[in-house]
Chain A
Amino acid sequence: MAIPAIESIYVPTLAWISRIEPMTAMEKLFVVELPRGQSLGHKPGQFVQISVCGVGEAPISISSSPSRSNGKFEMCVRKVGDVTSALHRMKEGDQIGVRGPFGRGFPIEQFEGRDILIAAGGLALAPVRSVINQVLDNRKKYGRFIILYGAKTPAELLFKEERDEWKRRDDVEYLETVDRGTPDWTGNVGVITTLFPKIAVNPRNTIAITEGPPVMYRFVIMELLGKGIPEDQIWVSLERRMKCGVGKCGHCQIDHFYCCQHGPSFNYAEIKGVMEAI
């Protein structure tokens, strides 16, 4: 029996950090360049597995939109574990391993012609930004574009320049809030659900996308359902421990779903009866 040449789904592609931008005390934005200028070929809402050899591998969501790829992709990384701490110690030009993109992203082309409502909490603005910029770069294909963003404190708000642009644009309805203000903070104070009374939507024509810390989902989904948005027009992205990214290792399993394959993007109709999902 001849043994054919074999490749491993676990071996990463070697890539380079081409730029690092500090964002907050805990988060940095990494611009990653793939070999030979190849494109990652991702959809908004997908993720990659990032390797720092000798330390390990961690699932990181892709923060850049396909519309702005140019042979590079961006990821906003919070320093929380071994791999993310190692990434934070790295410099521009350092090498990392990349596998992916993995999972089901948001079916953004199916949302064309609809109003888009985004509700992002904390670090989740990073993955949702891949949707936001895709919509902004194809702005005419979509209806109203509403972005709601909440963070714990003003210092934790990400992507300042981009948020300033959203505030300026008259084709984006952007609202932000913080859980706890500071003396110089003049904006909204309160959790993200306090922004919902400030907006009116046409529920039949609205696609809602929400992403945030686990505790946020049930409250935001309640607000969205309360506005009359149908269950299958409410999209979430669920965070789980994705170790292999290819539906084998079992860590990300939610009921019968492997979050890394069937998700991380789900619409609410798919997961509302699934215990442990929300």
Chain B
Amino acid sequence: MSLKIINTSDLLPFVSRMMSEYEVIGPVANDTGFKFATLTDASQLRLDYNTTVIPPRKALLPTRETLFTFRSDMHTVAPAFDMKWRVLLGVHTCDLHAMCMLDEAFARGQPDTHYMKRRATTAIISLECLDPCDEHSFCKSMNTLTATSGFDLHLIGLGEFYAVDVGTTAGEALLANHAKTHDATRAEIALLDKAMSQKWAKFPARLHLDGKDLPALMGVSYKSPLWEEIGKRCLACGSCNIVCPTCYCFDVQDDVSFDGKTGERYRVWDSCQLDAFARIGSGENFRKTRAQRLRHRFMRKGKYIAEAFPGHQGCVGCGRCARACLVDITPVDVWNSLHKDHA
């Protein structure tokens, strides 16, 4: 929509003013690195963070979410919706691309109003990465190292100032109501252009193919011996799912209060790598082996989602699953190995 400038000295006051009206969630430091958390003071914000263990999708799809409450006599059932207004701040573009895919997945077919309600009341202020986060990310290969849409506001930190790309009228209103901004000068635009073109060369293309070609590669990889090989190493712990910004599978369970009179049905994050994921009541398990479950996960990441939601990808190259895997099963290794077999 338009380009505005916030002087770096005006950024924290902007965050503080948003905090007076909304829950503001952003990257903060913890014992081991960084995490997304609700800010209690604007100074906690760490826009210099490299990555987080758990992606910011938890702000849109909480680990546990009440769907409805009931009275155990079943005479009343009431849906539960999160009515809070939020600002999700400092989202890297890999995670932003993932959220755009989640938006499509939950809106498609019968809309999931729990997700969509929360999404509609969450403003996203994303953040451009000007340097790679570590050796595991491959956003360049997945074409997610920048973004032109999906955000309300998009920040590019350029030392003395932040360039702010305004994506929506909601973003425009946030700026107008809470930030001290000015229109970009020619000198500021020149600095922005320079940073953006210098950035490109700093990011390595770790995949030996373009991410857009993954569906075709996966289509010829069903019978690869690789699935059995990595299946022997996989611990079926599900860490890769939990840290993935594009994973959205969930389980649904009931909880009853101690007095037995009231309860709730809730959903929790689930993992397709766990043994019980595809098992039915009679005991039949449709993906019994780790090799089958790994193949399913990589098919979803490389093929199914891209084909089901055109314009979106099942993997955004954030590298979190590679960092989390205890036995070094990484998407870069898997896809490069499959690519080598078919080159």
Q: Which residues of A are in contact with B by a Cβ distance under 8 Å?
A: 1, 3, 6-12, 14, 51, 53-58, 78, 80-81, 84, 95-97, 213-214, 239-241, 243-244, 246-251, 253-256, 261, 275-276
Task: Report whether A249 and B109 are in contact in the complex, using a CB–CB cutoff of 8 Å.
Answer: no
Q: Which residues of chain B have C-beta atoms less than 8 A from A97's C-beta? A: 74, 77
Q: How near does chain B come to A9, taking the closest CB pair, in angstroms?
A: 5
CA distance in complex: A57, B74 (Å): 14
CA distance in complex: A167, B117 (Å): 55
Question: Nearest B residue to A254 by beta-carbon distance?
Answer: B286
Task: Report whether B68 and A11 are in contact in the complex, using a CB–CB cutoff of 8 Å.
Answer: yes
Task: Report whether A54 and B72 are in contact in the complex, using a CB–CB cutoff of 8 Å.
Answer: yes
Task: Report whether B114 and A248 are in contact in the complex, using a CB–CB cutoff of 8 Å.
Answer: no
Contact partner, B110, options A1, A3, A247, A255, Cβ 8 Å: A247
CA distance in complex: A95, B73 (Å): 8
Q: Does B49 contact A (CB under 8 A)?
A: no
Question: Nearest A residue to B77 by beta-carbon distance?
Answer: A11
Contact partner, B296, options A12, A241, A253, Cβ 8 Å: A253
Contact partner, B251, options A8, A249, A276, Cβ 8 Å: A249
Q: How near does chain A come to B110, taking the closest CB pair, in angstroms?
A: 4
Known A-B contacts A54-B256, A256-B307; the reply to A6 vs B79 at CB < 8 A is yes
Task: Report whether B79 and A255 are in contact in the complex, using a CB–CB cutoff of 8 Å.
Answer: no
Q: Which residues of chain B have C-beta atoms less than 8 A from A12's C-beta? A: 77
CA distance in complex: A12, B83 (Å): 21
Contact partner, B67, options A3, A8, A247, Cβ 8 Å: A8
Closest 10 CB pairs of A and B: A250-B249, A8-B79, A81-B281, A80-B281, A10-B67, A53-B70, A95-B74, A246-B110, A256-B304, A54-B256
Chain B at the A interface: SS class: mixed
Q: Which residues of chain B have C-beta atoms less than 8 A from A250's C-beta? A: 248-250, 270, 272, 277
* 18 new A-B contacts at CB < 8 Å, known A3-B121, A57-B265, A213-B282: A1-B121, A3-B117, A7-B113, A8-B114, A9-B112, A11-B68, A11-B79, A56-B252, A56-B253, A81-B281, A213-B284, A214-B286, A240-B278, A243-B250, A243-B251, A247-B108, A249-B250, A261-B109
**Which of B153-209 touch A at CB < 8 Å?**
170
Contact partner, A256, options B170, B265, B303, Cβ 8 Å: B303
Q: How near does chain B come to A154, taking the closest CB pair, in angstroms?
A: 21
Task: Report whether A248 and B77 are in contact in the complex, using a CB–CB cutoff of 8 Å.
Answer: no
Task: Report whether A84 and B281 are in contact in the complex, using a CB–CB cutoff of 8 Å.
Answer: yes
Q: Which residues of chain B have C-beta atoms less than 8 A from A275's C-beta? A: 222
Q: How near does chain A come to B99, taking the closest CB pair, in angstroms?
A: 16
Task: Report whether B287 and A55 are in contact in the complex, using a CB–CB cutoff of 8 Å.
Answer: no
Q: Which residues of chain A have C-beta atoms less than 8 A from B75's C-beta? A: 14, 95
What are 12 pairs between A and B in contact, CB < 8 Å? Answer: A1-B170, A3-B83, A3-B121, A6-B117, A9-B112, A11-B67, A53-B77, A53-B254, A56-B265, A96-B74, A241-B286, A248-B106
Q: How near does chain A come to B44, taking the closest CB pair, in angstroms?
A: 27
Q: Does B292 contact A (CB under 8 A)?
A: yes
Q: Does B280 contact A (CB under 8 A)?
A: yes
User: Looking at chain B, what size class is its interface with the partner chain?
Assistant: 35 or more
Contact partner, A249, options B83, B114, B270, Cβ 8 Å: B270
Q: Which residues of chain A have C-beta atoms less than 8 A from B121's C-beta? A: 1, 3
Q: How near does chain B come to A211, taking the closest CB pair, in angstroms?
A: 14
CA distance in complex: A12, B170 (Å): 34
Task: Report whether A80 and B72 are in contact in the complex, using a CB–CB cutoff of 8 Å.
Answer: no
Question: Nearest A residue to B299 by beta-carbon distance?
Answer: A255
CA distance in complex: A12, B304 (Å): 30
Task: Report whether B77 and A6 are in contact in the complex, using a CB–CB cutoff of 8 Å.
Answer: no
Q: Which residues of chain B have C-beta atoms less than 8 A from A239's C-beta? A: 280, 284
CA distance in complex: A261, B328 (Å): 35
Q: Which residues of chain B have C-beta atoms less than 8 A from A255's C-beta? A: 299, 304
Q: How near does chain A come to B32, taking the closest CB pair, in angstroms?
A: 29
Task: Report whether B287 and A241 are in contact in the complex, using a CB–CB cutoff of 8 Å.
Answer: no
Q: Which residues of chain A have C-beta atoms less than 8 A from B278's C-beta? A: 240-241, 251, 253
Question: Nearest B residue to A250 by beta-carbon distance?
Answer: B249
Task: Report whether A248 and B250 are in contact in the complex, using a CB–CB cutoff of 8 Å.
Answer: yes
Task: Report whether A53 and B265 are in contact in the complex, using a CB–CB cutoff of 8 Å.
Answer: yes
CA distance in complex: A163, B147 (Å): 63
Q: Which residues of chain A have C-beta atoms less than 8 A from B72's C-beta? A: 53-54
Contact partner, A276, options B78, B267, B286, Cβ 8 Å: B286
Task: Report whether A214 and B284 are in contact in the complex, using a CB–CB cutoff of 8 Å.
Answer: yes
Q: Does B59 contact A (CB under 8 A)?
A: no
Question: Nearest B residue to A275 by beta-carbon distance?
Answer: B222
Task: Report whether B252 and A14 are in contact in the complex, using a CB–CB cutoff of 8 Å.
Answer: no
Question: Nearest A residue to B241 by beta-carbon distance?
Answer: A250
Q: How near does chain A come to B198, taking the closest CB pair, in angstroms?
A: 39
Q: Does B233 contact A (CB under 8 A)?
A: no
CA distance in complex: A275, B249 (Å): 21
Q: Which residues of chain A have C-beta atoms less than 8 A from B114's C-beta? A: 8, 10
Task: Report whether B254 and A56 are in contact in the complex, using a CB–CB cutoff of 8 Å.
Answer: yes
Q: Does B81 contact A (CB under 8 A)?
A: yes
Q: Which residues of chain B have C-beta atoms less than 8 A from A244's C-beta? A: 250, 252
Which of B105, B254, B272 has most A Cβ within 10 Å? B254
Q: Which residues of chain B have C-beta atoms less than 8 A from A53's C-beta? A: 70, 72, 74, 77, 254, 263, 265
Q: Which residues of chain B have C-beta atoms less than 8 A from A9's C-beta? A: 110-113
Known A-B contacts A55-B254, A97-B77, A249-B270; the reply to A10 vs B68 at CB < 8 A is yes
Task: Report whether A241 and B280 are in contact in the complex, using a CB–CB cutoff of 8 Å.
Answer: yes
Task: Report whether B79 and A7 are in contact in the complex, using a CB–CB cutoff of 8 Å.
Answer: yes
Q: Which residues of chain A have C-beta atoms less than 8 A from B300's C-beta? A: 253
CA distance in complex: A254, B73 (Å): 37
Task: Report whether A10 and B292 are in contact in the complex, using a CB–CB cutoff of 8 Å.
Answer: no
Known A-B contacts A53-B77, A243-B251; the reply to A8 vs B113 at CB < 8 A is yes
